[in-house]
Amino acid sequence: MSDAFHVYDTTLRDGAQREGISYSVADKLAVARLLDGLGVGFIEGGWPGAMPKDTEFFARAAAGELTLRHARLVAFGATRKAGLTAEQDPQVRALLDAQTPVVTLVAKSDRRHIERALRTDVAENCAMVADTVRFLRGEGRRVFVDAEHFFDGYAFDPDTALRVLDAAVTAGADVAVLCDTNGGMLPLGIAEVVAQVGERTGFRLGIHCQDDTGCAVANSVSAVQAGATHVQCTANGYGERTGNADLFAVVGNLATKLDMPVLPALGDLTRVSHALAEIANLAPDTHQPYVGSSAFAHKAGLHASAIKVDPELYNHMDPEVVGNVQRVLVTEMAGRASVELKGAELGLALGAEAVAQVVGTVKEREAHGWSFEAADASLELLMRGALGEESPVPFALESYRVIIERRGGEEVTAEATVKLQVGDERLIATREGNGPVNALDAALRAALEPGCPWLGGVELSDYKVRILTPGGSAGTHAVTRVLVETSDKLGEWTTVGVHPNVVEASWLAMVDALAYAALHSRG
Amino acid sequence: MSDAFHVYDTTLRDGAQREGISYSVADKLAVARLLDGLGVGFIEGGWPGAMPKDTEFFARAAAGELTLRHARLVAFGATRKAGLTAEQDPQVRALLDAQTPVVTLVAKSDRRHIERALRTDVAENCAMVADTVRFLRGEGRRVFVDAEHFFDGYAFDPDTALRVLDAAVTAGADVAVLCDTNGGMLPLGIAEVVAQVGERTGFRLGIHCQDDTGCAVANSVSAVQAGATHVQCTANGYGERTGNADLFAVVGNLATKLDMPVLPALGDLTRVSHALAEIANLAPDTHQPYVGSSAFAHKAGLHASAIKVDPELYNHMDPEVVGNVQRVLVTEMAGRASVELKGAELGLALGAEAVAQVVGTVKEREAHGWSFEAADASLELLMRGALGEESPVPFALESYRVIIERRGGEEVTAEATVKLQVGDERLIATREGNGPVNALDAALRAALEPGCPWLGGVELSDYKVRILTPGGSAGTHAVTRVLVETSDKLGEWTTVGVHPNVVEASWLAMVDALAYAALHSRG
């Protein structure tokens, strides 16, 4: 994408402020890869020096763990402290050490914050901004400046707010980003201020909105209509308090309402939105604009036939543009076309009958909480079953038993026993583990490994649990969905299991994982 | 409230279109009472004649089951069918039979819908509108007209759209409500059209927005700024697809940003929002503007001391105005200031020593995967422990044991046994459950309930599992974090447990939940 318009993502920094989100470094790398795949221009990775995990993220990215095709990586941080030079300030050094091509500095632009929170005066605040920008420019960095609390500050004392922008841009900052940090603005007011500031300064302006009035998306889009050419968002609107402007809604609006195709991979919005929710371990918002599973769902009733004939009369846009689908009945996403496509991808020649059977099974299972979107290996096994292939599971289960015990202040123990039939042989093994699933995995391997030496190279590399349909009168009665990621030297694959009992759900996913390994002769 | 501005709620009709909502008639009566308590001007109760439950709702309301203090009840329906007089049309009769002082009619105003969905022409469509309005006015009803698909229709063929409004108002309709039925508008466009239509017609205009661009709240507020004096919303933004404009955000914005105090009981917004979520059987959206439990939650860290001194610098408004509270989240960035703030919030006088102890414990536990930001109740117990208060856990654990078994194709069983000491008594109980945690919860309750009858009202309402530090070489060795949400008639609280074993992590969170209940004498 050209530099004329910036889609700037801050999921990894501002988005991570959302109550309940706690990204690991591996999560952060995965998030960055997905955002890069969408084609965002800038990915703000965190605040090196202030947050140890962010420092590690930048180190691992620089060491080669993150190869970006579209996006440039951004380190976020504060200007130099009062009384230090930029070069001396360890936080500024940490920004350099992050080795990103771009640095975004946060600068106070509301006089009340300068005086009451920073306890300094406007002149020193501007010097801190200018010095830091100049130093980083001298070190070859491109610099953006987030003018914190800009709209409140501009309403209270416009001169101070504009002086801060001027200090930043004169020192070499590329974009002055106007931030509605407390999120109290409305779109007509945002548009008016952005247009005014643009006219008074001539600077390249960006916009950063929080959703406290429920208007972050609208405010961001209004700012663009008023002249901003850099928009800061977070995936799914994650962020502190009520959140930030949702990347997917902002981009969807710019592309489909204002004819600004600012992202190359618009058709991936829905998939990436859901994958990012998965990594954040949050349920996707089914009612989210553009990407929610209900976003184009019509309760059939009166208009069903009209919707069928003239869908464009009842949708504000074609859902396929953002990789979403219209749903008229209460059915899940699987359609014939996507199953055919998937089969072809896996090299399976599914006939019409097998496709129908797979669609039926997927719909039925998804109604019970299964999800094959992130579990390709389970889907492949299901497709092979529909083709009449024999099950590749290398055993028949007679029984398993898991016992978890705790005595007073003592250790908690978990012990599992499996009894299997493999060919003519009956195998029994008992093993202990850290928890029930770990013990069961260990017992299963102990029983199988003598006959399947290849199993030694196959390991469970990630394990995710989601409780579905919570919020009822008895949370522990909810269904549990387990996703298991398994890997060997050749690659990794994901399988799924669903059951009210977390141990059985895990068992189902583990058995699929072994079946997939056996199928692909990973030995 | 005066008639000069209408807050019009359609939760019971348009809100009920949300996927997953299914109100009983008793639910509908309860919703109407709560909305009336807030002071909304109009409550649209449903579509009598088309929906049997709605017909019953109006009948029971008219029979005396619903006494409204502020609001007027509204019946919603269609204009007469082509070829019938309004008087003959059974659907129009059903509107009269609903015995409401106000009727809202839906009218097509997009020529494409008139021709392709209704299969008639503009003249007949206008006659259907005018006849039905005139008939209902003759029967003493006040009439509003919802101009469906107005914005799309006005863009496509403004003359037709305006003719339909004219037919309605000339026949006696009070308000011409412009509907963004497909939800594709943005705020600057909405404001422009509303201003134009107001200027060209001089009619009293209303606004009804769907949230497909994520702008329903912004669009509604922009329409009001452009001259609309009647705004249609739903509680919590419930509605078809992505939903409608959220009543609480719209009203919050009008009152606190535009100085339009359109609801008398603003301080009840938060309580009523949560109660309405309860009736809809949906989890409240914690990140909802104004009323969400995270709406004024700050991850403390760097700014904690500043927030403490000047909360108004960090909130876009005083949360108490809408009955909400500021919360400081104690996170990995936890410092003394945020712990002090949190202690004050809980009414605990933590001295310097206790603060230091809490900070130390939180930091140490968070390094091991605990998270207190979403587990206020566990944090309170930790703080009370630091103050030397005795543990409120009403028992001492001797041991527990959980057995999960599966035999071949048979059912999976989970059985738990707990052995406890309560005072001088030794209690043993065994129970089965859907899974290990459910069984353990059941056994613990079975043992304790005879001595703690209050436990009957305490229930586990949500249960979340997160696997931490995944991506290592052995996923099943990762640590498990469990968040348990527990509720009783008085409120809800969240506790946390972390352990490699999911059962023990759940146990820790459940014990904290019971301790919190015991502490606050929920009996």
Set of chain A residues whose Cβ sits within 8 Å of the Cβ of B435: 476, 480, 499-504
Residue A399: which of B407, B437, B502 has the nearest Cβ? B407
Q: Work out whether the CA dihedral B222, B223, B224, B230 comes out positive or negative.
A: negative
Q: Which residues of B touch A291 (CB under 8 A)?
A: none
**Amino acid B465: pLDDT:** 83
pLDDT tens per residue across span B182-226: 999 999 999 999 999 999 999 999 999 999 999 999 999 999 999
β-bridge partners, A396 = A421
The winner for highest mean pLDDT among A289-298, B27-36, B324-333, B350-359 is B27-36
Interface of B with A in 224-253 (CB under 8 A): 225, 240-243, 246, 249, 252-253
Angle at alpha carbon of residue B353, lines to B351 and B359, rounded to 5° = 100
* In chain B, where the domains are located: 6-263, 297-386, 395-451, 458-523
- Identify which has the larger pLDDT, B328 or A101: A101
Q: Which two tokens stand for residue A69?
A: 């095709």
For residue B240, the SS3 value is coil
Q: How far apart are CA B485 and CA B482, in angstroms?
A: 10
Is there a contact between B435 and A182 if contact means CB atoms under 8 Å apart?
no
User: Residue B225 and residue A202: Cα distance in Å, rounded?
Assistant: 29
Q: Judge contact between A339 and A355, C-beta under 8 A.
A: yes
Q: Quote the tokens at residue B116.
A: 């392709």
pLDDT of residue B331: 60
Q: Which of A19, A402, A463 sits opposite B286 (nearest CB)?
A: A19
Q: Does residue B474 belong to the interface with chain A, where contact is any CB pair within 8 Å?
A: yes
Q: For residue B471, what pLDDT is reported?
A: 38
Flag whether residue B338 sits within 8 Å of chain A, measured between CB atoms. Answer: no
Read off the pLDDT of residues B351-363 as tens digits, 9 standing for 90 and up: 888 998 998 888 7
pLDDT digits (tens, 9 = 90+) for A232-265: 999 999 999 999 999 999 999 999 999 999 999 9
Q: Is B368 on the interface with A (CB under 8 A)?
A: no
- Our CA-based measurement puts residue A351 at a distance from the nearest CA of chain B, in whole angstroms, of 30
Reported in sequence order, the residue ranges of A296-424 that DSSP labels E, i.e. its strands, are 396-407, 412-422
Q: Distances in Å between the alpha carbon of A400 and those of A393, A440, A449, A507? A: 16, 8, 17, 10
Cα distance between residue B256 and residue B272, in whole Å: 18
Q: What is the mean pLDDT of residues B432-447?
A: 93
Percent pLDDT > 90 in chain B is 65
CB proximity under 8 Å: B 63-102 to A: none
Secondary-structure class of domain A6-263 per CATH: alpha beta
The superfamily (CATH) of domain B458-523 is: Alpha-isopropylmalate synthase LeuA, regulatory domain (3.30.160.270)
DSSP secondary structure code for residue B317 in this structure: S
Is the pLDDT at B80 greater than 60, yes or no? yes
pLDDT at B305: 64
pLDDT at B456: 85
Cα of B388 to nearest chain A Cα, Å: 21
- For residue B259, the tally of other CB atoms under 10 A from its CB is 7
Q: Can you give the pLDDT at residue A511?
A: 94
B273 and B236 Cβ atoms separated by less than 8 Å:
yes
Structure-block tokens of residue B491: 């409120």
Q: Would strands A175-180 and A205-209 be described as parallel, antiparallel, or unpaired?
A: parallel
Residues of chain B with C-beta less than 8 angstroms from the C-beta of A418: none
Q: Helix or strand or coil: residue B472?
A: coil
Instruction: Find which of B274-288, B313-327, B464-478 is predicted with most confidence, using mean pLDDT.
Output: B313-327
Checking B137-143 for CB contacts under 8 A at 24+ apart, the result is B137/B171, B137/B172, B139/B96, B141/B95, B141/B96, B141/B100, B141/B101, B141/B102, B141/B103, B142/B72, B142/B101, B142/B102, B142/B103, B142/B174, B143/B102, B143/B103, B143/B104, B143/B105, B143/B168, B143/B172, B143/B173, B143/B174
A410 C-beta neighbours (distance < 10 Å), count: 9
Does the beta-carbon distance from A330 to B217 stay under 8 Å?
Answer: no
Considering only CA atoms, which of B379, B386, B428, B189 is closest in space to residue A258? B189
Which residue stretches of A424-501 are H helix?
436-448
- Taking the Cβ of residue B263 and every Cβ of chain A, the question of whether any pair is shorter than 8 Å is answered with no
pLDDT of B478 above 70: yes
* Mean pLDDT, range B493-519, rounded to an integer: 93
Strand arrangement, sheet containing A479-488: A459-468, A479-488, A491-499
Q: B 159-188 residues with CB below 8 A of A?
A: 182-184, 186-188
The segment with the largest mean pLDDT, out of A351-355, B19-23, B450-454, B511-515, is B511-515
Mean confidence (pLDDT) of chain A: 89
Task: Tell me, rounded to whole angstroms, the distance of Cα A313 from its chain centroid.
Answer: 32
* A428 and chain B in contact, CB less than 8 A: no
Q: Is B329 on the interface with A (CB under 8 A)?
A: yes
Residue ranges of A 369-398 with Cβ closer than 8 A to chain B: 396-398
Residue B22 pLDDT > 60: yes
Nearest CA-CA distance, residue B53 and chain A, Å: 15
Residue A52 distance to chain B (closest CA, Å): 10
Helices and strands, counts by H and E, chain A: 17, 14
Chain A CB contacts of B471 below 8 Å: 24, 26, 461-462
Which band of pLDDT confidence, cut at 50, 70 and 90, is reported for residue B521? low
Neighbours of A431 (CB within 10 A): 19
* A403 with B406: Cβ contact below 8 A: no
Distance CA(B183)–CA(B210), nearest Å, equals 4
Question: According to the model, what pLDDT value does residue A161 have?
Answer: 98
Contact B281 A213 (CB under 8 A): no
Whether A59 contacts chain B with CB within 8 A: no
Does residue B325 sit at the A interface (CB-CB below 8 Å)?
Answer: no
What phi, psi does B479 have (nearest 5°)? -90, 145
Nearest chain B residue (CA) to A412: B504
- pLDDT tens, position by position, A197-238: 999 999 999 999 999 999 999 999 999 999 999 999 999 999
Please indicate whether, in this complex, the C-beta atoms of A24 and B471 are within 8 angstroms of each other. Answer: yes
What angle in degrees, to the nearest 10, is found between the helix axes of B122-138 and B90-97?
A: 30
Q: Which residues contact B202 (CB under 8 A, 6 or more apart)?
A: none
Cβ of A112 within 8 Å of Cβ of B313? The answer is yes
List CB contacts (< 8 A) between B405 and chain A.
399-402
pLDDT at residue B445 greater than cutoff 70: yes
Q: A324-364 pLDDT, tens per residue?
A: 887 653 333 346 766 777 787 778 888 889 988 988 888 77
What residue type is A100 in one-letter code?
Answer: T
pTM: 0.74
Count CB atoms within 10 A of the CB of residue A190. Answer: 27
Residue B462, chain A, CB below 8 Å: the answer is yes
**pLDDT band, residue B472 (cuts 50/70/90):** very low
Residue A321: is its pLDDT beyond 60?
yes
pLDDT score, position A300: 43
User: CA-to-CA distance for A435 and B498, rounded, in angstroms?
Assistant: 12
Contact B289 A412 (CB under 8 A): no
> What is the mean predicted confidence (pLDDT) over B120-132?
96
Nearest by CB to residue B408, choosing from A314, A398, A437, is A398
Whole-number Å distance between alpha carbons of B214 and A295 = 11
CB contact under 8 Å between B503 and A414, yes or no, is: yes
Does residue B333 have a pLDDT over 70? no
Q: Are B95 and B132 in contact (CB under 8 A)?
A: no
B chain contacts of residue A290, beta-carbon cutoff 8 Å: 212, 214
Looking at residue A308, its pLDDT comes to 63
State whether residue B31 sits within 8 Å of chain A by CB.
no
Cα–Cα distance for residue pair A340/A347, rounded to 1 Å = 10
How many Å is the maximal CA-CA distance in chain B?
86
Count of CB pairs separated by less than 8 Å, A with B: 367
A389 CB neighbour count, 10 Å cutoff: 12
Neighbouring residues of A476: CB distance < 8 A, sequence distance ≥ 6? B433, B434, B435, B437, B438, B441, B460, B463
**Structure confidence by residue, pLDDT tens digits, A5-41:** 999 999 999 999 898 788 888 889 999 999 999 999 9
How far is C-alpha B435 from the geometric centre of its chain's CA atoms?
Answer: 30
Q: Does B437 touch chain A (CB under 8 A)?
A: yes
**d(Cα A133, Cα A194) in Å, to the nearest integer?**
23
Those residues whose C-beta lies under 8 Å from the C-beta of residue A100, and which sit 6 or more positions away, are A45, A58, A72, A73, A74, A75, A141
| Residue B66 or B284, more confident | B66
* Chain B residues in contact with A183 (beta carbon < 8 A): 316
Altogether, the residues listed in chain B come to a count of 523
- For chain A, the residue count is 523
**Would you call B476 and A400 a contact, using CB atoms and an 8 Å cutoff?**
no
Q: Is the confidence at residue B483, as pLDDT, over 90? A: no
**A281:B219 CB<8 A:** no
* Mean pLDDT, residues A459-488: 70
Rounded to 5, what percent of chain B is helix, strand, coil?
Answer: 45, 20, 35
Mean pLDDT across chain B, nearest whole number? 90
pLDDT band, residue A314 (cuts 50/70/90): confident
Phi, psi of A398 (to 5 degrees): -90, -50
Tally of helices (H runs) and strands (E runs) in chain B: 18, 16
Distance in Å, alpha carbon of A416 to nearest chain B alpha carbon: 9
Q: Which residue carries 């409004």 as its tokens?
A: B165
On whether any CB of chain B is under 8 Å from the CB of A259, the answer is no
Contacts of B277 in chain A (CB under 8 A): none
- Decide: A190 and A198 in contact? Cβ < 8 Å: no
Is A316 within 8 Å of B184 when comparing Cβ atoms? yes
For residue B438, report the phi and psi dihedrals to the nearest 5 degrees: -60, -40
Cβ-based contacts of A110 with chain B (< 8 Å): 313
pLDDT, average across residues B468-483: 60
Structure confidence by residue, pLDDT tens digits, A260-286: 999 999 999 999 998 898 788 787 888
What band does A149 get if pLDDT is binned at 50, 70 and 90? very high
Query: Given CB atoms, is A319 within the 8 Å cutoff of chain B?
Result: no
Reply yes or no on whether the pLDDT at B409 is more than 90.
no
**CB of B273 within 8 Å of any CB in chain A?**
no
Output DSSP code: residue A302. G
| pLDDT of B454 higher than 60 | yes
**How far is C-alpha B469 from the geometric centre of its chain's CA atoms?**
33
CA distance B381 to B33: 37
Q: With a cut of 0.90, is the ipTM above it? A: no
Rounded-to-integer distance, Cα A29 and Cα A56, Å: 11
A240 interaction partners in chain B (CB closer than 8 Å): 297-299
CB contact under 8 A, B253 and A214: yes
Task: Tell me which chain B residue has its CA closest to the CA of residue A297.
Answer: B241
